[in-house]
Chain A
Amino acid sequence: MYQSQAVIGITNARKNPPLEQCVWPADALNNIPDWVYTSQAIYDREIERIFRGDTWNFVALEAEIPNPGDYKRGYVGATPVVIARAEDATISVFENRCAHRGAEFCRSSQGNTKEFVCPYHQWSYDLKGNLQGVPFRRGINKVGGMPADFKNADHGTRQLRVTTRNGVVFATYSDKTPPLEEYMTPEIVEEFDVAFSSKKLKILGYCRNELPCNWKMYHENLKDPYHATLLHSFLVVFGLLVPGIKSTVVADKVHGRHGFMASSKPDEIYATVAANDKAEMRSFSDDLRLRDERFLDYVREFKSPWSANMMTLWPNLIVQRQMNTMGVRQIIPNGPNSMVMQWTMFGYEDDTPEMTRHRLRQGNLMGPSGFLGLEDNEALKFVQEGLRNSSTDNNVVKLDAGHEGSARNLISESCIRSLYQYYRDVMDIRVAEKAA
């Protein structure tokens, strides 16, 4: 069986410190210590304070479970859950753990059912996760069985609070998480609604990959416009993103935890890159040309100035819109050194067959074999491998120093700085005193 940890499985103990030793360097804004990505104690606190804290976690698209009885397996943080639509059409999210002996009872990835029955002792649950039946509850001939005071209502699955916006389903463990729109903040809601208007979605398919990197690196990658024109030569060559293009890199104004990177593709297929910018970009090639240029057609289907928008919604959702290829990605943390990415590609119900094929063709940009997606996956793996056993232990985020939140241009790490300012607060991480 595949195991990415098979060879790099050992993390230097110094990179896996207990919480009390996790003190952020004094110049906190401009530095990120390695233990943020490698400490098991930090990871455990993230699960408690972030994924089970006051956050809305993406769990599904409504189009995946359109009818009563439809369900799918999913995750909140690393915790397996079931997302199901009940007879009254409401959506419930509950832990995929039998209240009896803990078995993960829902085994099919998706389907339609009237109830869930745990295969071990056949305890049954309704579509909202409430316990319905316990076999031999009264024993045999009144011997054995559950105590008289046993109540089904006290032994359901752990149920989460659920909310939706325009077909996207979120869940939270906390009673204190504010309403979704307030949680997202207005400018994020506005961009979110471009992909998710009231138009009905059509699911085009799934993929899943494991990345041997810390889950936060994926957020950072999408708050890091600096990498986009350097790592992704494809973007540059075909004019999808070049230095100086109309673009924006936004962090939400309230917490700096959500954000998006958006750009507007010029009408020419191939970019003109100024000679002095070209010299800075080793990956740039003047010779690469497509034989099938349909791939770069952009059907202007949205009322938005941006032809591409990659949005991160804290803590586990990425909304991808690159020209006409659309998708959501869910981050599933998997220990400090690993994460699982679940990709769901979609279009709209009123797409013509040709529009669906256009989206599928353009889908070659994304995913674990995508012209862009592949490179991010590889780069993040390199980072995690680099920091697990190195003797040094600091990451530098000084681009456009002195600025936090929304970036002034693509050569900036201001959004990463604002994310970690928020993070230190939620995680209650101490910052070292400045040396006198």
Chain B
Amino acid sequence: MKDRLAYAKTAVSPRRAAELRAEIDSFHVEYCAALDANDVERWPDFFCKDATYRITSRHNALLNMPVGLVYCEGLDMIIDRAQAVAHSQMFAPRHMLHVLGITRVLQEAGNTVSSQTPFILMQTLVEGPSTVHLAGIYHDRFVREGERLLIASRQVVHDTEILDTALAYPV
């Protein structure tokens, strides 16, 4: 099936891609560190004001289904999600660990950069083993604001077809 997740060549030269990759790496190091520290209230700091964020399966993406496990339009919804997770939700205590692969820089236009980064999300419950909770790819569009990159759009597309119980924290 030729689809929207099919391989597409990058439009960025290797030298420029290496520069941008270093910047995106710096972004991800902090993004993952905040989430891996269970500091979900810092999660909105990585998004621009009109950012969109969605977690969905590859199955949905292939079928062009719009639904999200988490579906946020705009920073306010992202903050609401972070507040709800931090203050209103009941779930067993857990630690998450994001392990990222090599970022592909796909496009640069003005102050926006598009890229893809594979991830494996490990979960460890109290007295539990560490299990692969999700495996997938971040499909991102970053926007440069001053010195920083911020997420303008993050589509977390996971290969995992069956989720263990629940996904408590953002990815």
Interface residues of A (CB under 8 A from B): 1-4, 6-7, 109-110, 203-212, 231, 233-234, 237, 283, 285, 288, 290-292, 295, 340, 345, 356-357, 360-361, 363-364, 367-369, 371, 373-375, 377-379, 381-382
B114 at the A/B interface (Cβ < 8 Å)?
A: no
Given contacts A291-B80, A368-B167, A377-B165, contact A207 B88 (CB under 8 A): no
In the bound complex, do residue B66 and residue A360 qualify as a contact, i.e. CB atoms below 8 Å apart? Answer: yes
**Least Cβ–Cβ distance between A378 and chain B, in angstroms:** 5
Question: What does the 1/0 interface line of B127-171 toward A look like (CB < 8 Å)?
Answer: 111011100000000000000000000000000011111111000
Name which of B29-37, B56-64, B97-105 contacts chain A. B56-64
Task: Assess A204 versus B81: contact at CB under 8 Å? Given A231-B90, A369-B55, A375-B89.
Answer: no
B18 at the binding interface (Cβ < 8 Å) = no
CB-defined contacts of B81 to chain A, threshold 8 Å: 364
Question: Nearest chain-B residue to A360 (Cβ)?
Answer: B71
A–B complex contacts, Cβ < 8 Å, 11 sampled: A2-B162, A203-B65, A285-B88, A288-B87, A288-B88, A357-B73, A364-B70, A364-B72, A369-B55, A369-B167, A371-B84
Assess whether A7 is in contact with B69, with CB atoms less than 8 Å apart. no
CB-nearest residue of chain B to A382? B92
Question: Smallest Cβ distance from A369 to chain B, in angstroms?
Answer: 4
Give chain A residues whose Cβ lies under 8 Å from the Cβ of B129: 6-7
Given contacts A291-B79, A361-B77, contact A206 B67 (CB under 8 A): yes
B164 touches A237 (CB 8 A): no
Tell me the minimal C-beta distance from B158 to chain A in angstroms: 10
Residues of B within 8 Å of A, CB-based: how many?
Answer: 43
* A353: min CB distance to chain B, Å: 10
Contact yes or no, B66 A210, CB < 8 A:
no
User: Does B76 interact with chain A (Cβ within 8 Å)?
Assistant: yes
When the two chains form their complex, are residues B57 and A207 in contact, meaning their CB atoms are under 8 A apart?
yes
Q: How far, in whole Å, are A356 and B67 apart by their CA atoms in the complex?
A: 10
Is chain A's interface secondary structure helix, strand, loop, or mixed overall?
Answer: mixed
Whether B118 is near chain A, meaning CB under 8 Å from some CB there, is: no
- Please indicate which of the listed interface residues B67, B162, B166 has the most CB atoms of chain A within 10 Å of its own CB: B67
For A211, give its contact among B57, B68, B84, B165 (CB under 8 Å): B165
Residues of B within 8 A of A381 (CB): 92, 165
- Does any Cβ of A come within 8 Å of B7's Cβ? no
| Bound form: Cα–Cα A283–B128 in Å | 26
A378 near B70: Cβ-Cβ < 8 Å: no
- B83 on the interface (CB 8 Å rule)? yes
Assess the A295–B162 pair: CB atoms within 8 A. Answer: no
Residues of B near A371 (CB, < 8 A) are 84, 88-89
Residues of B within 8 A of A291 (CB): 76-77, 79-80
Distance between Cα atoms of A204 and B66 in the complex (Å): 6
Residue of B nearest to A377 (CB): B166
Nearest residue, chain B, Cβ from A211: B165
Q: Closest A residue to B74 by CB, please name it.
A: A292
Q: How far is the CB of A270 from chain B (nearest CB, A)?
A: 13
| Cα separation A234 to B161 with both chains bound (whole Å) | 28
Contacting residues, chain A, for B77 (C-beta < 8 A): 291-292, 295, 361, 364
**What is the CB-to-nearest-CB distance from B2 to chain A, in angstroms, rounded to a whole number?**
15
Contact B69 A4 (CB under 8 A): no
Identify the interface centre among B57, B84, B133, B166: most chain A CB within 10 Å of its CB: B166
Q: What residues of chain A lie closer than 8 Å to B127, measured between beta carbons? A: 7
Residues from chain A with a CB closer than 8 A to the CB of B68 are 205, 360, 363-364
**A-B contacts, CB under 8 A, total:** 132
* B59→A209 contact, CB < 8 A: no
Is the beta-carbon distance between B67 and A2 smaller than 8 angstroms? no
Docked Cα-Cα span, A283 to B168, in Å, equals: 18
Known: A208-B161, A210-B162, A368-B167. A363 touches B65 (CB 8 A): no
Q: With a 10 A CB-CB cut-off, give which of A110, A207, A211, A360 has the most chain B CB atoms.
A: A207
Contact A378 B71 (CB under 8 A): no
Using known A-B contacts A2-B132, A363-B71, determine if residue A375 contacts B167 with beta carbons closer than 8 Å: no
Q: Are A2 and B131 in contact (CB under 8 A)?
A: yes
**Identity of the chain B residue whose Cβ is nearest the Cβ of A327 in the assembled complex:** B67
Chain B positions within 8 Å of A209 at CB level: 162-166
| A59 CA to B69 CA, complexed, in Å | 22
Contact between A375 and B67, CB atoms less than 8 A apart = no
Q: Which residues from chain A contact B67 at a C-beta distance below 8 Å?
A: 204-207, 345, 360, 363
Q: Let me know if B79 and A374 touch, CB within 8 A.
A: no
Q: Which residue in chain A gives the minimum CB-CB distance to B167?
A: A369
User: Which chain B positions have C-beta within 8 A of A295?
Assistant: 77, 80
Q: With A295-B80, A369-B167 as given contacts, are A206 and B88 in contact (CB-CB < 8 Å)?
A: no
Q: Which residues of A contact B89 (CB under 8 A)?
A: 234, 371, 374-375
Specify which of B59, B74, B162 lies most central, judged by the most chain A CB atoms within 10 Å of its CB. Answer: B162
Residue of B nearest to A353 (CB): B66
Question: If A210-B164, A292-B80 touch, does A378 touch B90 (CB 8 Å cutoff)?
Answer: yes
Flag if B80 contacts A205 (CB, 8 Å). Answer: no
Q: How near does chain A come to B60, taking the closest CB pair, in angstroms?
A: 4
B161 to chain A, nearest CB (A): 6
- Contact partners of A7 in chain B: CB under 8 A: 127-129
Q: Out of B69, B83, B88, name the residue touching A368 (CB < 8 Å).
A: B69
Shortest Cβ distance from residue B72 to the other chain A in the assembled complex, whole angstroms: 8
8 new A-B contacts, CB < 8 A, other than A210-B164, A374-B91, are: A109-B59, A205-B66, A292-B77, A345-B67, A360-B67, A368-B167, A369-B55, A374-B167
Contacts of B165 in A (CB 8 A): 4, 209-212, 368, 377-378, 381
